[in-house]
Amino acid sequence: MTKLRSPLLILLSLAALAVFFWPLWADASALEQSLAGVLAVVAAVVIAITTLVVFDGELIGPKQLALLGLLAALGAALRVATGGTGGFELVFLVVIIAGAALGPKFGFLLGAMTILVSSIFFGGFGPWTAFQLFATAWVGAGAGLVSRRFGRWRIAALALYGVVSSYLFGLVMNLWFWPFAVGPTTSISYVAGAGIAENLTSFLTYSLLSSTLTWDTVRAISVASALIFFGRPLIRTLERAKL
Amino acid sequence: MTGALGRIKLAAGLATGFVALRLIYAFIFSGLSGERVLFSIPEVTPGGVFRHITFFGDVSAEGILRNIELALPFALSIMVFGTISAFITPQVIRTASMRVKPLRNLLTALAISLSAIPGVLAAAKEARWARRIRGERPLSVLVPILERMVQRATAVGLELGKAAPRALSGKTLRVSGFGLAGLGPINCDFEPGSVTLLSGETGSGKSTFLQAIAGELLEHHGRPSSGSIRLGDQVLDSLAASSYVALVPQLPQHSFVSETVSQELGAKVCGLNIMGTSLLSDRPTFSLSHGEAYRVAVARAAARKPAVLLIDEPSAALDSKGLEELAELVEKLSASGTICLIADHRPQMLALPQARLLEISEGKLSPPAAKKAPMPQLRKVVVGNEVTSKIEISSIGASEELIGEISLELRQAQCVAITGANGSGKSTLLRRMAEPEKGELFVHGVEVLGAHPRRVALVPDRPAQFFVTDSLASELARSDEIVGAEKGLTELTLRSILGKLPDENTHPLDLSIGTQLALSVAMQLSHKPQLLLLDEPVQGLDPESREFMAETIRCVQETGCAVVIATHDLEFAKRLSTVIYEISEQRLRQASEVTA
């Protein structure tokens, strides 16, 4: 089981990613699209729960549990303290720092856990929770992978990663929500058989308007600058925790 | 925590918002057309790659209705999720963490997380406060907040990993060949029922030695040591130590796992009123003052009925009444066979006549050297006649009044001491003076409003709150940068307080508590304030460092700056101040003779 776990986790993440892309492979007629939407939400929830069950065995030692719990509490508190969608900046910072200092698996779990904690404590559970959970978890896992590769340039690489991941997070979150947000009647709705280019333009128009120009940009700038100014002492603080 | 009804309302709000959002998109991107046109805005087409996209156009009744209808399933699902979540409360998670096996670890972490949030919010507030009185940049608070989380995680992990306490008496604690970076080798036996008072200079390794016996060094601080520590035949590794040894740490605030004192101690222990803790039972653990937290930590350790009880620096935290209570408790426990080891800079503060005295000096454990010659009298300072700082505060305290009618005048270069029992409000008063409200504080006739470290600088009793970098050297450099001083100013001040500097690559939090305090005093002094407030300025300092601190305060006074110190160390207060105030029965009054 232990040996199988890592490939299984990667497989589950890929499956979840496929669900994010549902608008591109689901059929487009009004009724079927809404059915496909329901299926996508259900699939995301099921994959999320499965992933958490598989990950549960990865957690060893009371200190790791405690650190995961407290950092998730920190993320959740910061998310609410700074308010609304914009509050994701500090969640990103905490998750990236933790992934960089304590490895991709810890980063993944912290991302997932932060979403769960803030949804349970402050409310705000919805069809989006499973998607948020995966998107935030990937941000943490990615930070762990980036941090391993760039010894001396770690902080610069992480700051760049902060920018890239901010936009990618916005894009994938917009992708699964796109059909729900605009419905089938608008000029930027998904049109079956209209060709990739046209659908892609429609999606990008939607994404630019919804978050890329606003939240994602604010997040990219604030996460990158926080990492440049305080990344080193923040990461060292966590590395001192010595799990 | 939002209630069940609140959550359903929130879900309804989100669902409505979602439908509205859908209509807005449909309006902007020509999605509301139909037969009965209500109004129409000319369509706009951007062209190019965007040629298939159109903006605005007809708005019809059917268009609106159709979009609402299509949006309903998703809006409904928002309501379903919201309703389900109304039943997922922290209690449910806590119960589930014990029952649902496949998710046990994650649910445990989730339960820890949920009960930690109020404390996290309080820690964030505290860090923002420290940033204001330090004059730091906004984002810098993240470093001390994160540090608090790591400290708490270490403590919570320690608590979770603890084995149940086990009774064991009549065994000797035997330390043989113990050594670690500059400390040791230490060989020493502690007989059952013995009481030992351990002294030593600031940073000599007293706390490290206690942590080693408590089995925390390797597991939780990642510091391997040599030699062995045994209790009878039992080697004290971290697991064994957790069942037989209880440690009261120097700064116990971070080590509380539960939300309130009664949860932390358990109702039964709370009822025993060890160290006066039954009076604190309803208080959230994060709101305790340093002295109160220490009392709770002593009660928690004593309640485990350990074979070995380790107490780190009690005189820095407890007032004289608390120290009396502690001495009684130690005598009672040692009579029943507990080995008690107390590390303190001022062992004479504890009335334990039968205790063995030991000292850690240059890494070795030995009977204390002959008393050094008494410190020379501090030089006199000429106190000006002019009143430079005026303080008038009508009352302090959020829900109930802690102190009322405070009126204090300070003359140029004057040093005033404020004493009072644990929890009487010394720190709260100093904090208010560092961040005064309208009309409360005037320095040289100028009103001070809010935090203004260049006029009024405070050094809090938890000095680590100021540290935002990862080494002593960068902390010193950053301090010069914040005040715009020439490089080296803060280092010079620190040198004059400590005599010698530790390795400048040391992480600020790896410095001893006494050194941390000296560092934060030096950092605040670089603001060149006109009024300096010091909260417990000698906690964790050995006699020599206390002398350096007294000298430093004298030097500060000589620049004309007035100084207020809050301390329960009456001896130190008397050495420095001609005027001593005491807080008792919610009043600040001048006292000629007070018992701190």
Closest-approach residue (CA) in chain B for A209? B25
Identity of residue B156: V
Contact of B418 with B429, CB cutoff 8 Å: yes
Q: Closest Cα partner for B28 from B62, B78, B67?
A: B67
Query: Is 90 exceeded by the pLDDT of residue B164?
Result: no
Higher pLDDT, B497 or B248: B248
Whole-angstrom distance, CA of residue A106 vs CA of residue A67: 10
The neighbouring-strand residues paired with B532 are B457, B563
Q: What is the pLDDT of residue A96?
A: 95
Global confidence as pTM: 0.82
Query: Is 60 exceeded by the pLDDT of residue A87?
Result: no
B530: alpha, beta or left? (left if phi > 0; alpha if psi -120 to 50): alpha
Whole-angstrom distance, CA of residue B326 vs CA of residue B413: 37
Query: Is 50 exceeded by the pLDDT of residue A195?
Result: yes
| Subunit contact A186:B25, Cβ cutoff 8 A | yes
Whole-angstrom distance, CA of residue B150 vs CA of residue A234: 11
Contact of B63 with B23, CB cutoff 8 Å: no
Per-range mean pLDDT, top range of A84-98, B180-194, B367-381: B180-194
pLDDT digits (tens, 9 = 90+) for B519-562: 998 999 999 899 999 998 887 777 777 887 888 888 888 888 89
Q: What is the pLDDT of residue B424?
A: 83
Among A75-89, A177-191, B157-171, B457-471, the minimum mean pLDDT is found in: A75-89
Output the average pLDDT for chain B.
85
pLDDT digits (tens, 9 = 90+) for A45-69: 999 999 999 988 887 778 888 899 9
Distance of alpha carbon B560 from the chain centroid: 32
* Torsion sign across C-alpha atoms B449, B450, B454, B455: positive
- Three-class secondary structure of residue B532 per DSSP: strand
SS (H, E, C) B58-116: EEEHHHHHHHHHHHHHHHHHHHHHHHHHCCCCHHHHHHHHHHCHHHHHHHHHHHHHHHH
Among B21-35, B393-407, B445-459, the minimum mean pLDDT is found in: B393-407
pLDDT digits (tens, 9 = 90+) for B392-422: 887 777 666 778 788 888 888 899 999 888 8
Whole-angstrom distance, CA of residue A19 vs CA of residue A133: 13
Whole-angstrom distance, CA of residue B233 vs CA of residue B225: 19
> What are φ and ψ of residue B390, in 5° steps?
-120, 130
Q: What is the pLDDT of residue A115?
A: 92
SS (H, E, C) B100-122: CHHHHHHHHHHHHHHHHHHHHHH
pLDDT band at residue B594 using 50, 70 and 90 as cut-offs? very low
Closest-approach residue (CA) in chain B for A234? B143
Query: Is 70 exceeded by the pLDDT of residue A84?
Result: no
Mutate to test the interface with A, among B27, B146, B239, B467 (most CBs of A within 10 A): B146
Whole-angstrom distance, CA of residue B250 vs CA of residue B265: 18
| Subunit contact A71:B21, Cβ cutoff 8 A | no
Contact of B478 with B423, CB cutoff 8 Å: no
| Subunit contact A183:B160, Cβ cutoff 8 A | no
pLDDT band at residue B40 using 50, 70 and 90 as cut-offs? confident
Closest-approach residue (CA) in chain B for A41? B77
Distance from CA of A61 to the nearest CA of B (A): 8
Identity of residue A98: A
